[in-house]
Amino acid sequence: MNAPSKIPLEQLKRSRIGVLMGGLSSEREVSLRTGAAVAKALREGGYTVVELDVGKDVATRLTAEKIDVAFIALHGRYGEDGSIQGLLESLFIPYTGSGVLASAVGMEKVFTKQVFVAHGLPTPPSKAYATAAQALASPPDFPLPWVVKPSREGSSVGIHICKTKDAYAPAVEDAAKYAGLILVEQFIKGREVQGAVLDDEALGVIEIVPAREFYDYQAKYGAGSGTQYLFPAPIPPEAYEKVNQVCLAAHRALGCSGASRSDVILAPDGQVYLLELNTLPGMTATSLLPKIAQGRGISFLNLCERLLEGASLKS
């Protein structure tokens, strides 16, 4: 795959960089933290930064602020799902990250899994439902435990692990409160690892050791959560390379640009299972992409610059 042309840093330093943050999704608070970290780093690097808390007037504000390049620091609906990407395409403002189609598919977990399956990538068995009533009337036929999740939320919002059938109905009802389909997936016991891709190259694999049962919202963002991050992941070399290869293959299968981060389970038998792919990885103090980049000798500012250099129109 040919790498897209880069915007020279000298040109970017003469540009007005709009850091798009906040937004209207359930992940607003996380996005504000991502945006603040990015804006601070870029300012310290000598860039002209305009922080934009994205609302319904975002098109007017982008034009009024004369934004030359958009750094998308949004998470969740309207930011990660192709919506803001389509607007930026229409305004002819180059932006960081993936384009409209890759963003839309990556945000919809059901479609993401269909792409994984079509490309022969390993992913746990799953079943999708349009409504809670359908999910309750026809539960999955694969063994418990089951993971119930809303198909269009990130940051582990609305996710439940059901060890018994009694836990299934409350989990489904909760997942149904959020947008999109309801995805029920077979729970795979194993080590939680994540692989990052930057500029169409595998960046590395980090292991997450949550103090809680799984890497949920509290484990990700809660103060003093006790979660440990081990980079490089202390797994056998052949498994490390397999995770790298699978994450890069997922990035390419969805047609991603810039950076992506994939959630993977490494089973005791050495098999890897792709859970989902994040087209706009977080950039907070506890986020995994910056931790992996730092482990590879890439500073936070340099990471932001590499993402900025790759800003483009994709349509």
- The domain 106-122+189-302 belongs to what CATH superfamily? ATP-grasp fold, B domain (3.30.470.20)
| Cβ density class 235-270: b for 16+ within 10 Å, e for less | beeebbebbbebbbbbbebbbbbbbbbbbbbbeeee
Closest CA to 225 of 217, 236, 234: 217
Residues contacting 71, CB < 8 A, separation 6+:
17, 18, 19, 20, 38, 42, 95, 96, 304, 307, 308, 311
For the stretch 88-120, pLDDT in tens is 999 999 999 999 999 999 999 999 999 999 999
What's the whole-number average pLDDT of the chain?
93
Which of 31-45, 67-81, 155-169 is the least confident region?
155-169
Domain range list for the chain: 9-97, 106-122+189-302, 126-186
The pLDDT score that the predictor gives to residue 214 is 56
Please say whether the beta carbons of 241 and 80 come within 8 A.
Answer: no
Cβ count within 10 A of residue 95: 26
Cβ-Cβ contacts under 8 Å for 100 (sequence gap 6 or more): 82, 85, 86, 89, 314, 315
* Residue whose C-alpha is closest to residue 306's, from 1, 31, 8, 73: 8
- β-bridge pairing 16-21 and 201-209: unpaired
Report the catalytic residues: 27, 155, 221, 261, 263, 276, 278, 282
Asked if the domains at 9-97 and 126-186 fall in one CATH topology, the answer is no
Range in 175-189, 213-227, 271-285 with the lowest mean pLDDT: 213-227
- What number does CATH give the domain 126-186? 3.30.1490.20
119-159 tens-digit pLDDT:
999 999 999 999 999 999 999 999 999 999 999 876 567 89
Q: Which helix (H) or strand (E) holds 300?
A: helix 300-309
Of 24-33, 145-154, 186-195, 217-226, give the lowest mean pLDDT range. 217-226
What pLDDT is recorded for position 222? 54
To which residue do tokens 């189609």 refer? 101
- The tens digit of pLDDT for each residue in 241-290 reads 999 999 999 999 999 999 999 999 999 999 999 999 999 999 987 899 99
The answer to whether 300 and 34 have CB atoms below 8 angstroms apart is no
Residue 46 CA, chain-centre distance (Å), reads 28
User: Sheet of 69-72: strands edge to edge?
Assistant: 48-53, 16-21, 69-72
Give percent of the chain with pLDDT exceeding 90.
86
Closest CA to 128 of 173, 172, 186, 181: 181
The answer to whether residues 267 and 189 touch, using CB atoms and an 8 Å cutoff, is: yes
Higher-confidence position of 224 and 295: 295
Q: What is the pTM of this model?
A: 0.91
User: What average pLDDT does range 21-47 have in this prediction?
Assistant: 95
Specify whether the CB–CB gap between 226 and 218 falls below 8 A.
Answer: no
Mean of the pLDDT values across residues 181-208? 97
Confidence of residue 1 (pLDDT cuts 50, 70, 90): very low
Assigned CATH for 9-97? 3.40.50.20
Task: Please tell me the distance from the alpha carbon of residue 16 to that of residue 32, in angstroms, as a whole number.
Answer: 19
Does residue 49 have a pLDDT over 90?
Answer: yes
DSSP 130: S
- pLDDT band for position 227 (cuts 50, 70, 90): confident
Please, is 227 exposed, middle or buried when counting C-beta atoms within 10 Å of its C-beta (0-12, 13-18, 19+)? middle
Contacting residues for 126 by C-beta, under 8 A, at least 6 apart = 110, 113, 140, 183, 184, 185, 186
